[in-house]
Amino acid sequence: MSDQTGIQAVEEKAFACPCGNVASCGQSADGDIETTIDSAPGGCDIGPTLPDATGETRTEFGDIKAQVPETDSPDEILQRANSREWENAFALCSGGKDSTAALHYAYHNAAFPLDGIIFIDTNIGLHENKEYVQQLGDKFDLPVYVADTRNKADRYRERIEKYGFAGPTRQSHRFEYICNKEKPLQKFLTGFEGQSLLISGATRQESDARYEAVSADGIEEDGTRTFVSPLARWTQSDVDEYLSEQGVEISEVTELLESSGDCLCGAFADRYLELTQLRDHYRYLHTYIQSLEARVIDAARNDELLKDSYKEFVLWGHGSMTDPELDQAIDSREGEDMMLCRSCEPALPGLSGGDMYQTLTERALRDESISLPDTETAFRDEFDVTQAIPDDTDEHPLTAIRKAYNALEEVADRLGFGNIDEMVAEQYSDEKVIRQYIDEKHPDIPTGKREELVGALSEKIA
């Protein structure tokens, strides 16, 4: 293969839809988004589509930022919003810096009062975000509404067992945004009559996509919703400076993760960095992602994903892995062959053996020394802790896992340990592991032989 051909293949893969198509996927004749499996011949069945950008004729418009008028100031945007017709005014707040700054600015500077704050619960975000937004509501004496109602088919956990995890494409990210945020917001606002004015923290400088999406006057109308972005012209340094000058305490999540952490769908995630951060600071969500991986891997092994190509999407944040790394972790062959690894080299250069795998499910995919039963639920039975949650509970699995970790932290603290890991390490010993292994593999072994085997195995691993 020539260098040019190789480059072209990489480029095509980078812009491919998660369904595997490089060309755009189907839309209906009137422009509505098709979400059915038979949306178009050879098209994508995973939801929203992007305009066709694969035609031979391209029109170059130059730098879009050089052609769009200068963005209005925050006060001008809020004044223009006040002149519109609307019945309710809410601030959308995820707990991140931008939306918090927009909420604070509108509360103190708008000529109209806010009727409340809306937090959209994506069901794949940190609970600490919701708690932070609720604290902001208490501070401003505003009610906090949680938008979290969505159809079962749109729930994150349900979708990934059909499509796999989201990839690093606009198509994939847009689908996640619509299911995780857009639809719950739509359902919530149906409970209010008339036009709703929604204060957003969107800034044009956040990215090229944002620059195109946010208008110069900071106002966008969409049916019964009017989105107002008062900080549209601000840069991130402007937001940071404003929060600092006003003495606004940012959330702990933002300080630790440098992101809002309200939606961790994995579309543009850095697998190594973000899973490491979650493992270090928010173990319950790291564990939940691992449990989801176990379910998706089993779905792939059982041919339950909607397309065979989706078997490449069984790891969260897979888009940040290079082709060799992804090939290492996942073999595209069907059934139990998915468990075979091509190589046991570390996924990233310079990492020690203990840091090779970001989740136990990834390790099981790569390491052929790990033996799992040949059953339809092998990975779920081994790595999905949500299996232990009673079926009759109304709690979301993420909530239950967080409570469990909080309880373990309290136990570790009472026993004088710094954290859960220290407590577990204290209880661990090679002999305990060996005896457990013997009990499982040789339950009927005589006592004398058992002790001989314990001694022999202890010498072997010493």
Structure confidence at residue 206 as a pLDDT band (50, 70, 90): low
pLDDT digits (tens, 9 = 90+) for 422-435: 888 787 777 888 88
Q: Are 235 and 205 in contact (CB under 8 A)?
A: yes
Spell out the alpha helix ranges (H) of 195-349. Answer: 208-213, 236-245, 252-257, 271-281, 283-301, 323-329
**Residue 91 gets which letter from DSSP?**
E
Structure confidence at residue 400 as a pLDDT band (50, 70, 90): very high
- Which contacts qualify for 11-16: CB closer than 8 Å, 24 or more apart? 13/323, 14/168, 15/53, 15/169, 16/169
Q: Is the per-residue pLDDT at 5 higher than 70? A: no
Largest CA distance in the chain: 88
Q: How far is CA 196 from the centre of its chain?
A: 28
The helix (run of H) or strand (run of E) holding residue 264 is none
Q: Output the pLDDT for position 228.
A: 96
Which percentage of the chain shows pLDDT scores above 90? 57
> How do strand 225-228 and strand 219-222 relate by DSSP bridges?
antiparallel
Q: Output the pLDDT for position 36.
A: 36
Task: Give CA–CA dist 104/26, Å, rounded.
Answer: 42
Q: Is the per-residue pLDDT at 396 higher than 60? A: yes
- Comparing 18-22, 68-72, 430-434, 440-444, the range with the smallest average pLDDT is 18-22
- How high is the mean pLDDT of the chain? 80
Q: pTM of the full predicted structure? A: 0.74
Task: Give CA–CA dist 250/272, Å, rounded.
Answer: 25
What six digits make up the tokens of 297?
A: 């891997």
Question: Which positions ≥6 away from 45 have C-beta within 8 Å?
Answer: 19, 35, 36, 37, 38, 39, 306, 307
Mean pLDDT of 235-244: 95
Q: Output the pLDDT for position 216.
A: 64
Q: Is the dihedral of CA 385, 389, 394, 399 positive or negative?
A: negative
Q: Is the per-residue pLDDT at 52 higher than 50? A: no
Three-state DSSP at 199 gives strand
Q: Is the per-residue pLDDT at 76 higher than 90? A: yes
Structure confidence at residue 55 as a pLDDT band (50, 70, 90): very low
Task: Give CA–CA dist 114/263, Å, rounded.
Answer: 25
